Structure 1
Amino acid sequence: MKILVIEDEKDVRLNIIEILASGGFDSIYAENGLKGIGLAKEAAPDLIICDIKMPDFDGYSVLQELRQHQATATIPFIFLTAKADKAEIRQGMNLGADDYLTKPFRRVELLDAIAARLKRHSAQLDIQKKVQELREINTQKDDFVSTITHDLRAPLTTIKVALQLMEAMPNNRKQYTEIALTACDQGEELIQNLLDLYQLESGEALATPEPLNIKEQLRKIIESFQVRARTHQQVLTLDIPEVLPVIVADSVGLQRIFVELLNNACKYTQSRGEIVFKVRTDQTVDQTPVLKITIANQAEIPIRDLPHIFDKFYRVPGSDRWQKGGTGLGLALVKKLIDQLQGTIYVTSQNGWTAFKIELPYETL
């Protein structure tokens, strides 16, 4: 704790500094009010002890000046004076002083006053922090409700329009049925992602960890995406070892991770573009076995968007050129799942490629 002492009488100043040192406090000092104001702004002390009767710039002027600046406005402030009548005390308190000590004072009086002011100040800071957190939570809730309302309304509007067009142009019934079904899928995906995120944020896994043949699970997932890639004339390149260990893991969570990332890769890769899925086994420095997974595709994310890529409802502006739709929750869900599995994920995007790189620790049977 650093305390600023503003006192023009040298003997009194040295005595205060000695008492502060005996109480375990660091101190800085100024011999007049103007220097004290400069030190307070420069050093941001935890508390200020200031004499009232000083030439040129008295203690009241010091306090009034410091209370006008945001950086020094809340620093606890204790006045020292040779005498203190009620009017003088009232004047100091009206200016924002936290306490008053009359000279001469005992060591215990000074240290007790400092301890009381610091404790009160700490409690005030805690309250301010909690108020700010509540404000942020309320803002997040408002944004959440607004976004959910918008995102749920979008597929419902699409379904309504498709039904109206189906009635007006029955010959195109099949086309509008497909549009309505796609919108239903988007709404269902949003609701499922919301439920999964809520479950994860409550500290629950999507499924109980169990022995898992990771090679077999990957095969089933990749087969469907190979069909999808061929349909969209994309090249899906696999780099997976012939043998992978049987691990103990949340199979539902792992599947969601792979599906979300491969789905994004297919969604944002142009025709004749390449998607690469790579898996390796390795060990950390402390010999913990890890799965290293890379899912990369030929599409680039602007560098300004990378810090927000795992935020809820964040969509890279202009990225959905093919109007494939999305909930804006997929990558947030992936990040939560990987955090729960005590793994890491990061994304790079350069030279026309975007790569999601994952490390997942695992247990073997």
Structure 2
Amino acid sequence: MALIYLIEDDEQLREYTALLLSLHDHVVKSFGDGAPMLAACDDGLPDLVLCDVKLPGLPGFQVLEQFRHRAMARHIPFIFVSAHVEREQIRKGMNLGADDYLTKPFTESELVDMVHTRLSLHARRRETVEAHIAEMNARALRCLSHEIRTPLNGVMGGLELMQMDKPDTAPEELGIVATSAVRLERTLLRYLSFMEAVSDSLPLRSQEVTNVDMLIEDVSSRIAESCSRGEDLILHVDCQVRTLFARELTQVLEEIVGNAFQFSDPGSEVQVIATASHETLSIEVRDDGVGMKDDEFAAIAPFRRFTNSYSDDMAMGVGLCIARKLVSKMQGELTLSRRRPRGVAARIELPAFPLGIPS
């Protein structure tokens, strides 16, 4: 189904043409001259334009010129309709950017076939361009990741050597530089992860893991220990399923569990509860931290700050967006809810496969 703008001053022919196109599942907006059609383009562009050459007021050629001046309309199929198609007229229309001519009187099959052909050609061209752009984006992301990691590794390695070889030389200053370098590395890698997650040009990397229970326990324990809060972690894991996307599940857990520890106080519990039923893996991460307001859950976005809440950190919004996008790519769902009296519960539901059954 396509949206077609039809410009024809003959009311009877206009209604007949619109009827034929609508019978073939197209949506048609009809106009008696070109000016109202051009005005309608300000509210939304069509998928194809059928335009009479001889029109009252603004001639068809001028309609085409003004239509093509819109950047997003330069490649939309534009078909002229005329009872008198001469070689010079065809050449002029093509030079202005017309895609085809339909001669009056025309049959239903001539009309429908020409519209279908032009829409199909336009769709294939768009797919080719989008595939090329996606490939360029993927290459840029891979190159950017390498270009960022290489100098950072040099900085981190150099600082480590300086601290080992000359431990008494400005230890406090070197410590400040090292801490800042680690923070810079973490921030840049987080944003690279965000760019990869939202990019449709980078598919999921299939990596099957048969022991999801161990993966959840290992990742959660590692995050807890990195926060010096191993005793605050409470695990209830009983899944007995497989996942095809271990890398992505690991990254999602790192974001969600990491946020739970980051935005809760030492000594308060962080629970990770994982179960499976009917080929669905359910993971819930609960904390007793500062929590979020009810209206903030729907407003989560990268680089957005909230005041005195679970999201009072720019990286927090990025982390949740990374997790949400990755869960969506895995055909799952991530939901957040407010806990009473304090804290947030993050629930992840993903497709999984029972042990021993081929995926």
Same structural fold, with TM-score higher than 0.5 when normalized by the shorter chain: yes
Larger Rg computed on CA atoms:
1
The TM-score normalised by the length of structure 1 is 0.63
Shift of 1:34: 1.7
- Percent identity, please: 19
Counterpart of 2:270, as a letter, is V
Matched, 1:98 2:94: no
- Which residue is 1:325 aligned to? none
What secondary structure does 1:274 align onto?
coil
Residues in 2 aligned to 1:214 and 1:145: alpha-carbon distance in whole angstroms: 27
Matched, 1:236 2:232: yes
Counterpart of 2:285, as a letter, is T
Shift of 1:5: 2.1
Residues in 2 aligned to 1:202 and 1:289: alpha-carbon distance in whole angstroms: 20
Residues in 2 aligned to 1:335 and 1:86: alpha-carbon distance in whole angstroms: 54
Residues in 1 aligned to 2:10 and 2:255: alpha-carbon distance in whole angstroms: 71
Deviates more, 1:62-71 or 1:106-115: 106-115
Matched, 1:64 2:65: yes
Q: Deviations over 1:208-255 (max 9, x none)?
A: x1596899x68x959x9499438xxxx726475xxx7572447x9599
Residues in 1 aligned to 2:70 and 2:214: alpha-carbon distance in whole angstroms: 63
CA contact (8 A) 2:7 2:50 kept: yes
Shift of 1:70: 3.1
Residues in 2 aligned to 1:211 and 1:34: alpha-carbon distance in whole angstroms: 62
The TM-score normalised by the length of structure 2 is 0.64
What secondary structure does 2:69 align onto?
coil
Counterpart of 1:203, as a letter, is S
Residues in 2 aligned to 1:93 and 1:130: alpha-carbon distance in whole angstroms: 28
What secondary structure does 2:55 align onto?
coil
Q: Deviations over 1:120-148 (max 9, x none)?
A: 11112212222332332233223322332
CA contact (8 A) 1:291 1:362 kept: no
CA contact (8 A) 2:256 2:346 kept: no
What secondary structure does 1:27 align onto?
strand
Matched, 1:30 2:31: yes
What secondary structure does 2:271 align onto?
strand
2:240 aligned residue (247, 250, 258): 247
Counterpart of 2:30, as a letter, is Y
CA contact (8 A) 1:76 1:117 kept: yes
- Which residue is 1:276 aligned to? 270
Residues in 1 aligned to 2:116 and 2:19: alpha-carbon distance in whole angstroms: 16
Shift of 1:343: 6.1
- Which residue is 1:141 aligned to? 142
For the structure 1 residues 166 and 25, does the alpha-carbon distance in structure 2 shift closer, same or farther, using more than 3 Å as the test? closer
What secondary structure does 1:4 align onto?
strand
CA contact (8 A) 1:41 1:72 kept: no
**Residue ranges of structure 2 left out of the alignment (5+ in a row):** 197-202, 304-312
Q: Deviations over 1:78-107 (max 9, x none)?
A: 112232222211111111111112333343
Q: Work out the number of aligned pairs and report it.
A: 317
CA contact (8 A) 2:77 2:118 kept: yes
* Counterpart mapping for 1:174-253 below 5 A: 201-205=204-208, 207=209, 209=210, 221=221, 225=225, 228-229=228-229, 236=232, 238=234, 240=236, 245=238, 247-249=240-242
Q: Deviations over 1:300-348 (max 9, x none)?
A: 7996995449xxxxxx5588xxxxxxxx99x9699869976x7655556
Shift of 1:67: 0.8
- Which residue is 2:258 aligned to? 264
**Residue ranges of structure 1 left out of the alignment (5+ in a row):** 310-315, 320-327
Residues in 2 aligned to 1:7 and 1:202: alpha-carbon distance in whole angstroms: 53
RMSD: 5.1
